[in-house]
Chains A and B, each alone.
Chain A
Amino acid sequence: MVSVINTVDTSHEDMIHDAQMDYYGTRLATCSSDRSVKIFDVRNGGQILIADLRGHEGPVWQVAWAHPMYGNILASCSYDRKVIIWKEENGTWEKTYEYTGHDSSVNSVCWAPHDYGLILACGSSDGAISLLSYTGDGQWEVKKISNAHTIGCNAVSWAPAVVPGSLIEQPSGQKPNYIKRFASGGCDNLVKIWKEEDGQWKEEQKLEAHSDWVRDVAWAPSIGLPTSTMASCSQDGRVFIWTCDDASGNSWSPKLLHKFNDVVWHVSWSITANILAVSGGDNKVTLWKESVDGLWVCISDVNKGQGAVSAITEGQQNEQ
């Protein structure tokens, strides 16, 4: 049974563009057209404003929490072409780094799996994707992929870290040989997969299926299967599920989840990758699960309504 357990009043003065729970679900970060990023403590159904971060000069589009092993770190990106990384030091939140290398609005930020270190991917309307890597002592190294998508890049999403081959525990201090990959979606209607080779980022795959701007991509968490799964959604109202069966990442095949009547803005996976949430037009969020014969079925609708909350027993799909 899905029910509303808390309503946080963010007091943002303009439209909210993103809200993210931290790793443990104890803190909530929000960003808005009012140029601010706010952080709330939401434990036990409460809402305490911890920080009101100012620094952007335009609407802030997305926020992303880094893995807690690096401390309390939050990244934000904005129409003002900036990416700001905020850090909590001695109980207060401060700007720790600001990247201004993009020529246009930065639309999406995504932290890499913690196994790779502290690395942030940023997608911008100038068509480039930049990768900011923390090298220590407050220093960040920047790698840029120019012209990743013509007209602009709208979304970036990292693939989960999978160590190729060996399952033996690595001796301490030695980094296993990860193959770093991430996906991006752009205004060229394409989904692209990027792979790091010899310190350089190369375009590994170009996936065509959408007929309009790709608004979001989401790489599913790994549950130990050799297959990779990804979801993409677009202005054309379609959501595709992409799967790649072999470990070398060569053959991706799309499956149409659904064609909606309106733009689909956002797709995201639950932490065990068994449910995909799609927020589409007509003010609805639908939840999807894969059934035994590979079909994706809608298991729940979350709708914005007026008046009293009425939560109806969730139709649990019980596949046979």
Chain B
Amino acid sequence: MEELDVEPALTLVPGVAPGRGRLHFQWGPGEMLVCEAAFPGAGHGEKGPGCPYIHVLRKDQDIHLHTLRKLFNESHGIFVGLQRSDEELSGKSKKAQLVGVSKNYRSVIRACMEDMHQMAISTRDPALHNQYSTQVSILSAMELIWNLCEILFVEVAPAGHLLLHLLDWVRLHVCDVDNMVREVLSSENPSKHELFWNVVDIFVLQGRMEDARHLLSKEATANPTSKGMCKILDDLMKKMPVLGLGNTQTLTEMELKWQHWHEECQRYLQDGTFASNPHMESICKILLGDENAILEKKELMTTWYHFLVTHLLYSHPAVKPVELRFYAQSSLDQFLGGENSPEPLDTILMAAFEFEIHQVIKECSIALSNWWFVAHLTDLLDHCKLLQSHNLYFGSNMREFLLLEYASGLFSHHSLWQLGVDYFDHCSEYGRVYLELHIERIPLTTEQKALKVLRICEQRQMHEQVRSICKIMAMKALRNNRLGSALSWSIRAKDAAFATLISDRFLKDYCERGSFSDLDLIDNLGPSMLLSDRLTFLGKYREFHRLYGEKRFSEAAKLLLMLMTAHIAPCSFWMTLLTDALPLLEQKEVIFSAEQTYELMRCLEDLTAGKLDNQKLQDDDIETTKVEMLRLAFARNLARAIVKEGTLEGS
């Protein structure tokens, strides 16, 4: 059973007097709201100014730092690449690939560090400078931890190689030395420089024998009395057995050689060869792995893990991974010397040396302010098959849990949310539903953004979300009187009711203004016309107008009639349609056949019969005139049609 290891973090919100209010809370889709409130019953009747402030809180503030934008963007690319390429390789090549991925992540962190460092030194605002500098040190710590995890968990360096990797690790991360080195080397008489021996010590502590020997030779030339000692020390350094990465000798062979070399160093020390030169004597002791001698150089090493690696180099170069924990713990204890307690970074590194991966992730989660680091590291370690699956309530394992948290945070950002989509895609258990819940909350500020969101939903067959978004856009367009846009959105949403509503608006506009808007859209409806009856009518009605415009009168006539007889046209529109028939009836040529004319007359009768029942007392003068005009026109046409049809061709 897990207990919370730390007290829940307390966030204080600036308030006015404590008052009699309670703290009210609401979730927003991204941010959270907090305000002083009162409840019905309490506070009612008591007049007085309440606190009119509402505070908006944000949980994943780091997501919104523009300085980290590059980190999020580039790591996203690496993450997606890793998910996709996983299945192909196995064995050694797989490991090489994973190490490559790990190095990529680290180089992204370093690039970000570099950028931030530049910003820190170029800004004149002290607050900003502090902020950037803090960010740089956090990133630096992250890279340090990641690098160690890479060596221990991804590379899984065996004994021998392990120490070499650790040496590299230490050399890379203790960078203060470079300045000192440069200073000494560039001076006229390096061996007379006050920091000369410091630099030699550092080289030795970091196992940089070539560099150490180079400096020793300078001392030898400058100081003839110590030439003899320098020669011997130089010799020892040269002969130190090192397991090179390209070396063919086995570990056992190397260990044997190392033992002999160690004994040789011992002899020289005991003979008092270096007794007259305390610097060189101390170096010899270091070579022998004397803890106290190494510890004396505490200030140069600066960290306990440097001490650990140096000590291992000179006492147990063939250290096995499983042995690391004991040496690490003792190094930490000795270095701190009981005065100070370990910092969070120390705890994390210690957990890594102990190969407690879960502990590493847990400590990092607590110490860091955002999920980026743990989410990506855990994903990588999961690909190395290192995490046993611990079932969690949300997210079936730790990897998914962390990725869900990280990606959820991305969704509160107006553009980074797009990265979040890919992360959710690769969470097999809850990724999809989290995506559904989050993607609905993205403000559809522009048509392009809405289309982008739609495309994402369509690609993933999220039909509910597609429908919902289209309906929202249709409603928005309608409110802004953009009927054409509203119609195309409601067609896309397959929303028949809305399409009917909008078609009615179009028809109403036509009746009022005598023309259609958005002709392009209506002309090209195609099969989507069938979405709603009203829409079908709209499309066909427009087609009628087009046919008329193209002077294809008999087709137009047929269509017009069909609209009524097939009941595609709503009754309310029949009058308009019949009136539309008038110009066709007035043509020189007979367009409506007798049969058709009978139909027309019947329609009119149906229409007026219905009307008579309801509007006996409301006979509009215009309406009656219209009806009379129509009857006359029909009658005339009927006459002409009968005659025409009765006449034989040619006669």
Query: Are A and B interaction partners?
Result: yes
The chain A residues found within 8 Å of chain B, CB to CB, are 1-21, 23-26, 28, 30, 32-33, 42, 45, 59, 61, 67-72, 79, 88-90, 105, 107, 114-115, 169, 172-173, 215, 221-224, 265-266, 268-272, 274, 277, 279-281, 283-287, 290-295, 297-320
Stretch in B20-28, B114-122, B174-182 with 4+ CB within 8 Å of A: B20-28
A308 to chain B: which residues have CB within 8 Å? Answer: 14
Q: Could you tell me the distance in whole angstroms from the C-beta of B641 to the nearest C-beta in chain A?
A: 41
What 0/1 pattern do residues 29 to 48 of B give for CB contact below 8 A with A?
11111111111100110011
| A17 and B38 contact, Cβ closer than 8 Å, known pairs A1-B61, A25-B28, A279-B24 | yes
Report yes or no: B496 in contact with A6, Cβ–Cβ below 8 A: no
With both beta carbons as reference points, the residue of chain B lying nearest to A42 in the complex is identified as: B56
Distance between A51 CB and nearest chain B CB, rounded to angstroms: 15
CA distance A277 to B18 in the complex (A): 21
Chain B residue, CB-CB nearest to A311: B11
CB of A46, distance to nearest CB on chain B (Å): 11
Q: Assuming A279-B23, A302-B13, what are 14 further A-B pairs, CB within 8 angstroms? A: A15-B37, A16-B54, A33-B38, A33-B44, A272-B404, A272-B438, A298-B8, A300-B9, A302-B34, A305-B12, A315-B7, A317-B4, A318-B374, A319-B390
Selected interface stretch from B195-203, B239-247, B391-399, B611-619: B391-399
Cβ-based interface call for B50 (8 A): yes
Contact across chains for A17 and B9 when beta carbons are under 8 A apart: no
B510 to chain A, nearest CB (A): 21
Is B358 in the interface zone, CB < 8 Å from A? yes
By a CB distance below 8 angstroms, the chain B residues around A304 are 12-13, 15, 18, 23, 34, 36
Among A18, A172, A290, A309, contact of B531 (Cβ-Cβ < 8 Å): A172
Q: Name the A residues within 8 Å of B434 (CB-CB).
A: 223, 272
Segment 385-416 of B: residues with Cβ below 8 Å from A: 390-394, 398, 401-402, 404-405, 408
Interface membership of B365, Cβ < 8 A: yes
Q: How far is the CB of B227 from chain A (nearest CB, A)?
A: 58
Residue contact A9 to B531, C-beta cutoff 8 Å: no
B22: contacting residue among A9, A12, A23, A281, CB under 8 A: A281
B405 contacts across to A, CB distance below 8 A: 316
Q: A293 — which chain B residues lie within 8 A by C-beta? A: 1-2
* Cβ-defined partner of A316 (8 Å) among B24, B358, B365, B476: B365
Q: A1-B370, A318-B398 known; A21 and B40 CB under 8 Å? A: no
Subset of 13 A-B contacts with CB under 8 Å: A1-B370, A5-B31, A7-B14, A7-B56, A16-B54, A33-B38, A224-B432, A290-B394, A300-B8, A306-B15, A307-B14, A315-B4, A320-B362
A224 to B33, CA, bound (A): 27
- Given A172-B496, A173-B496, A320-B362, A10 contacting B9 (CB threshold 8 A): no
B421-434 CB mask vs A (1 if < 8 Å, else 0) is 00000000010111
Q: Which residues of A contact B367 (CB under 8 A)?
A: 313
Cβ of B393 and Cβ of A290 under 8 Å apart?
yes
A15/B23 contact (C-beta < 8 A), A302-B11, A317-B4 known: no
Q: How many residues of B contact A (CB 8 A)?
A: 100
Q: Are B52 and A12 in contact (CB under 8 A)?
A: yes
Main secondary structure of the interface of B (DSSP, over half): mixed
A241 to chain B, nearest CB (A): 12
Q: Which residue of B lies closest to A107 (CB)?
A: B40
The answer to whether A277 and B27 have CB atoms under 8 Å apart is yes
Least CB distance from B637 to A in Å reads 40
| Given contacts A15-B21, A172-B531, A274-B394, A79 and B44 within 8 Å (CB-CB) | yes
Given contacts A25-B443, A79-B40, A292-B390, contact A271 B14 (CB under 8 A): no
> Given A1-B369, A33-B50, A317-B4, are A224 and B34 neighbors across the interface (CB < 8 Å)?
no
Chain B hits for A317, CB < 8 A: 4
Which of B73-81, B298-306, B467-475 forms contacts with chain A? Answer: B467-475
* Complex CA distance for A16 and B16, rounded to whole angstroms: 14
Give which listed residue, A7, A11, A268, contacts B25 with CB less than 8 A: A268
User: Which B residues touch A281, using CB under 8 A?
Assistant: 22
Q: How far is the CB of B622 from chain A (nearest CB, A)?
A: 27
**B361 on the interface (CB 8 Å rule)?**
yes
Contacts A297-B4, A306-B15; A269 near B27 (Cβ below 8 A): yes
* Chain B proximity of A43: nearest CB distance (Å): 8
Interface contact A17-B39, CB-CB below 8 Å: yes
Q: Which of A2, A17, A23, A72 contacts B59 (CB 8 A)?
A: A2
* A166–B12 CA distance with the chains assembled, in angstroms: 48
Please tell me if B441 contacts chain A, counting CB pairs below 8 Å: yes
Q: Is the CB of B70 closer than 8 A to any CB of chain A?
A: no
Chain A CB within 8 A of B53 CB = yes
B423 to chain A, nearest CB (A): 14
Report the separation of the CA atoms of residues A69 and B475 in the bound assembly, to the nearest whole angstrom.
6
Smallest Cβ distance from B378 to chain A, in angstroms?
A: 10
Name the residue of chain B whose CB is nearest to the CB of A114: B468
CA distance A5 to B288 in the complex (A): 58
Taking a contact as CB atoms under 8 Å apart, the answer to whether B27 and A28 are in contact is: no
Known: A79-B44, A302-B25. A18 touches B14 (CB 8 A): no
Closest CB pairs A-B (n = 10): A15-B50, A21-B28, A305-B12, A172-B494, A24-B443, A15-B38, A69-B471, A6-B56, A304-B15, A173-B496
Interface presence of B10 (CB below 8 A): yes
Known contacts: A21-B29, A21-B33, A315-B8. The answer to whether A14 contacts B50 by CB under 8 A is yes
Closest chain A residue to B374 by CB distance?
Answer: A318
8 Å CB contact of B11 from A271, A279, A283, A301: A301
Asked if B40 contacts A17 (CB within 8 A), the reply is yes
For A154, the closest partner residue in chain B by CB is B40
Measured CA separation A7–B29 after assembly (Å) = 17
B626 interface contact, C-beta 8 A: no
**B329-357: contact bitstring with A at CB < 8 Å (1 yes, 0 no)?**
00000000000000000000000000000
B437 and A265 contact, CB distance less than 8 A: no
B648 / chain A contacts, CB cutoff of 8 Å: none
Complex Cα distance, B7 from A16, in Å, reads: 31
B636 at the interface (CB under 8 A from A): no
Given contacts A24-B443, A223-B434, contact A4 B56 (CB under 8 A): yes
Q: How far apart sit A79 and B43, CA to CA, in the bound complex (Å)?
A: 13
Complex CA gap A3/B61 in Å reads 7
Q: In chain B, what residue has the closest Cβ to A105?
A: B40
Interface contact A303-B11, CB-CB below 8 Å: yes
Q: Is the CB of A279 within 8 A of B22?
A: yes
Contacts of B222 in A (CB 8 A): none
B-chain residues with CB within 8 Å of residue A292 when the two chains form the complex: 2, 390-393
Q: Smallest distance from the beta carbon of B483 to chain A beta carbons, Å?
A: 15
Query: What residues on A are CB-neighbors of B55 within 8 Å?
Result: 4, 6-8
**B650 at the binding interface (Cβ < 8 Å):** no
B-chain residues with CB within 8 Å of residue A90 when the two chains form the complex: 479
Q: How far is the CA of A6 from the CA of B374 in the complex (A)?
A: 29
**In the bound complex, CA of A284 to CA of B36 (Å):** 10
Chain B residues contacting A215 (CB-CB under 8 Å) are 39
Q: Tell me whether B13 and A309 are in contact (CB under 8 A).
A: yes
Check if B49 is an interface residue, CB within 8 A of chain A: yes
Task: Determine the distance from Cα of A320 to Cα of B401 in the docked complex, in whole angstroms.
Answer: 10
CB pair B443 A283 closer than 8 Å: no
Q: Which residue, of B54, B59, B432, B475, has the highest number of chain A Cβ atoms within 10 A? A: B54
Given that A314-B59, A320-B358 are known contacts, is A279 also in contact with B54, CB under 8 Å in the complex? no
With contacts A23-B441, A69-B468 taken as known, whether A319 is within 8 angstroms of B52 at the C-beta atoms is no
A281 to chain B, nearest CB (A): 7
Q: Is the CB of B442 within 8 A of A4?
A: no
Query: B38 to chain A: which residues have CB within 8 Å?
Result: 15-17, 33
Chain A residues near B390 (CB, 8 Å)?
292, 319-320
Q: A267–B574 Cα gap in the complex (Å)?
A: 57
B231 vs chain A, min Cβ distance (A): 56
B471 pairs with A30, CB closer than 8 A: no
B578 within 8 A of A: no
The answer to whether A16 and B37 touch across the interface, beta carbons within 8 angstroms, is yes
B643 at the interface (CB under 8 A from A): no
Q: Which of A4, A24, A290, A301 contacts B441 (CB 8 A)?
A: A24
Highest count of chain B CB atoms <10 Å: which of A16, A59, A268, A300? A16
